[in-house]
Amino acid sequence: MSSSITDAVYNKLCNDGILTSSLAYGTGSKSIFTFYPVPEDARMPYIVAAGEISVIPNDTKTSRGREIFKDIRVYCSASESTALIETISERVRTLLHKEHITASGYSNTWTEVQNMMDGPYEPGIYSKILTVRFVLRNT
């Protein structure tokens, strides 16, 4: 299950030319990671969309489902303008907030970016964390 959501988020982000043109490699596939830690030779800016922070049952009388909370992290070198990390983060929000995500085995009934905040301090790095809520129904 986890991989179907991760794949869906990856595909949604990689298939957006506006977003990928702001990332280090421009193609997205080398700048959007679905695992952590990222390779040591990864160049910023990049996005990490790995794992869930919470999975909660969301069953009804007639269907099975779950709510998944996932953090999408955006990283940028502090040598860049803070406007770059804001631009990338806002684009990720636009792509995921109240949008349909196609995940194998599930129908997505609600996607919501609930939070966008600065990441923890790391010398030489700006980061943003977007918390995304997915409400899914089994198909």
State how far the Cα of 131 lies from the Cα of 124, in Å rounded to an integer: 23
Beta strands (DSSP E) in the chain are 32-33, 46-48, 54-57, 65-77, 106-118, 125-138
The domain 2-138 is placed in CATH, from the list 3.30.2000.30, 3.40.50.720, 3.30.360.10, 3.40.50.410, at: 3.30.2000.30
pLDDT tens-digit map of 90-131: 999 999 999 888 888 888 778 999 999 999 999 999 999 999
* Residue 18 pLDDT: 94
* Residue 2 pLDDT: 61
Domain boundaries defined on the chain: 2-138
Contact 111, 132 (CB under 8 A): yes
pLDDT tens-digit map of 77-92: 999 989 999 999 999 9
Predicted TM-score of the model (pTM): 0.90
